[in-house]
Amino acid sequence: MVVSVIQWFDADYRSDELALRKDIPNKVEWVRTIPFVILHAGCLGVFITGWSWTAVGAAVFLYFVRMFAVTGFFHRYFSHRTFSTSRFMQFVLAVWGGTCVQRGALWWAYTHRHHHQHSDEPVDKHSPLQHGFMWSHIGWITSAKNFPTDYSRIKDLAKFPELVFLNRFDVLVPVLFAVFLFFVGVGLNALFPSLGVTGGQMLVWGFFISTTVLFHGTACINSMAHVWGKRRYETGDDSRNSFILSLITLGEGWHNNHHMHMSTVRQGFYWWELDITFYLLKALSWTGLIWDLRPVPAAAYDPERQINPADTARRAGMVVEEVEAPSAPSAPIAAKP
């Protein structure tokens, strides 16, 4: 129990011992996950603080700003390195992602790379096919066997001590972010009292409610994107594409596309596949802060590699003509003399 409490503040404390153990069952480690429970319980603070349009608007705004951090930075940069950036900007992206309260960038990247390596296999940490919907959605993150970060699997990131620091003390950024939001509310109340917002409202709506919804929006990809939607490619797992999930996660719903070509920065391969994360990353590249965005490979558009190319062609507005084979003549045609 003492070890679990210390790990609230130092995620790497004795984590090497957990990493070496292979007999840890899939069960909830209640003491270690108390901060996660507090995050959800904090939403009930709305009955104390009430609401204001400013606080609700901040919650919605912060949901999308931080969803972009999860999808664009934790996923497409740290996990798959689909674009390049400077070391300083890499640190900024890690801090930005840290406000999402989904642990550190290195743990996130390690866990996600493990998922791709063992997708829908028994050792996949959050496969709904192997472990059921609830475990793949929220249960897996509460299990002691999934707490450690295996730095040997992310050597390209573990060589940066500043990233290791943020990953080890992954509670630091969320706490500072929560305090910041509280004082923003206090300041707004003092400077613009007509807004009706308070420090408590900004804390509850901007941090607790927005972050909780953000977590479950992200978790929908783990729990639903392998059971709900359509498949364009045969990927060896049950990943699927979903427009609705793409709306919730700014483009991550094109999961089957991603599992087929995970090294591209774009996950919506066709014009109708909305991928807001890609659009924002493309815009960010115009500033020079990121560069070398890896494009969709030509093989992604090869009809022979798609399960149902006719459906893709139809959605693209193309007309697939059926060429009728010529009927055989009733009798051979004699050659002219």
pLDDT digits (tens, 9 = 90+) for 198-225: 999 999 999 999 999 999 999 999 999 9
pLDDT of residue 21: 62
Element at 85 (helix H, strand E): strand 84-85
Winning range, highest mean pLDDT, from 55-64, 122-131, 222-231, 296-305: 55-64
Distance CA(148)–CA(100), nearest Å, equals 19
Which is nearest to 59 in space by CA: 216, 247, 220, 211? 211
Query: Rounded mean pLDDT of the chain?
Result: 90
Q: What is the amino acid identity at position 38?
A: I
| Rounded mean pLDDT, 132-140 | 93
Element at 291 (helix H, strand E): strand 290-291
| Rounded mean pLDDT, 80-99 | 98
Which is nearest to 111 in space by CA: 143, 146, 158? 146
Percent of the chain clearing pLDDT 70 (strictly above): 91
pLDDT band at 336 (very low <50, low <70, confident <90, very high): very low
The dihedral of CA 163, 169, 174, 176: what is its sign?
negative
| Rounded mean pLDDT, 172-176 | 97
| Rounded mean pLDDT, 135-158 | 93
Q: Is the model more confident about 97 or about 316? A: 97
Measure Cα distances from 52 to 182, 198, 206, 211 in Å.
14, 9, 11, 18
DSSP state of 303: G
Residue with tokens 């500072």, as numbered in its chain = 176
Which is nearest to 237 in space by CA: 126, 83, 91, 315? 126
Does pLDDT of 7 surpass 90?
Answer: no
| Rounded mean pLDDT, 298-317 | 81
| Rounded mean pLDDT, 259-274 | 96
| Rounded mean pLDDT, 181-210 | 97
| Rounded mean pLDDT, 20-39 | 83
pLDDT band at 321 (very low <50, low <70, confident <90, very high): very low
pLDDT of residue 9: 84
Element at 176 (helix H, strand E): helix 172-191
Mapping DSSP to helix (H, G, I), strand (E, B) and coil, where does residue 24 land?
Answer: coil
pLDDT of residue 337: 35
Residues in the chain: 337
Measure Cα distances from 296 to 15, 68, 245, 269, 337 in Å.
38, 20, 20, 7, 59
pLDDT of residue 328: 40
Q: Give CA torsion, residues 101, 103, 106, 112, to 10 deg.
A: -90
Q: Is the model more confident about 2 or about 225? A: 225
pLDDT of residue 22: 61
Does pLDDT of 135 surpass 70?
Answer: yes
Q: How many CB atoms lie within 10 A of CB 106?
A: 26
pLDDT of residue 312: 76
Mapping DSSP to helix (H, G, I), strand (E, B) and coil, where does residue 290 land?
Answer: strand
The dihedral of CA 197, 199, 200, 201: what is its sign?
positive
pLDDT band at 28 (very low <50, low <70, confident <90, very high): confident
